[in-house]
Amino acid sequence: MEILTLVALIAIGAYFLKSHDQRRRIALLAHHLGNYQIEKLMENLTEGYLRCLGEDDPERRQQIWGVLDATEARLAAQFSNFAAEFARVDAAQARVSTSPLATLPYAHLLFPRETFDLRAAFAIHARGINEVMHNRAGRSPKDKAYMLSAELFLMQHTCHWFCKSKMVASARMLARHKTPYEQLIASVSEGTRRDYLALIGRQ
């Protein structure tokens, strides 16, 4: 009985420590995101893409693409500014655990070699979003929308990974966007995929 009580106390203590760390992370990210309209712009883009792809009138569809181009540019600019601002966050506060034991409280401190820098991840996402938005590769509007959506969703996955865990982030992505994590990685631009996989330790 004493052993069971000890195990229960350890489990409760670990839960509270993990919750405290998660609240700190969420507050840190929210503090910086609060200066921007990134989430709202993402929502507008996603809804706009669906509306455009469902439009049968070519002229009307072209008008919607034009409006969405402006939204994409605003979003890319805001996220670039956010990434530059977040780059000034203390390095110790920006570590994200890649360890299989990431569910442990403060796993990024226990296993520092199995982490990546969130500041570097946001810089990669900012470059990817800008590259696809400018569309120097000449993708069709549909292909551009698909790839930019993947860039944005992978960025969102990174945010959830930092705040909670990779498992939670992947589950949320599947529930909200019906998109598995590996499909996201396969759908972003080549440059984003290369740099992102190198950062998280998957060459």
pLDDT (tens digit per residue) in 39-66: 999 999 999 998 887 777 788 888 888 8
Q: How far apart are CA 34 and CA 36, in angstroms?
A: 5
Token code pair at residue 165: 């865990």
Q: Assess contact for 155 and 125: CB atoms under 8 A.
A: yes
Q: How far apart are CA 72 and CA 128, in angstroms?
A: 13
Q: What is the pLDDT of residue 16?
A: 45
Amino acid identity of residue 89, one-letter, is V
Domain boundaries, the chain: 2-199
pLDDT (tens digit per residue) in 127-180: 999 999 999 999 998 999 999 999 999 999 999 999 988 999 999 999 999 999
Rounded to two decimals, the pTM is 0.88
- What is the Cβ-side half-sphere exposure of residue 8, based on CA atoms within 13 angstroms? 5
The DSSP code sequence of 57-97 is -HHHHHHHHHHHHHHHHHHHHHHHHHHHHHTTS-GGGGEEE
Which residue in this structure is represented by tokens 């796993």? 107
The DSSP code sequence of 9-45 is HHHHHHHHHHHHHHHHHHHHHHHHHTTS-HHHHHHHH
Number of H helices, E strands in the chain: 9, 2
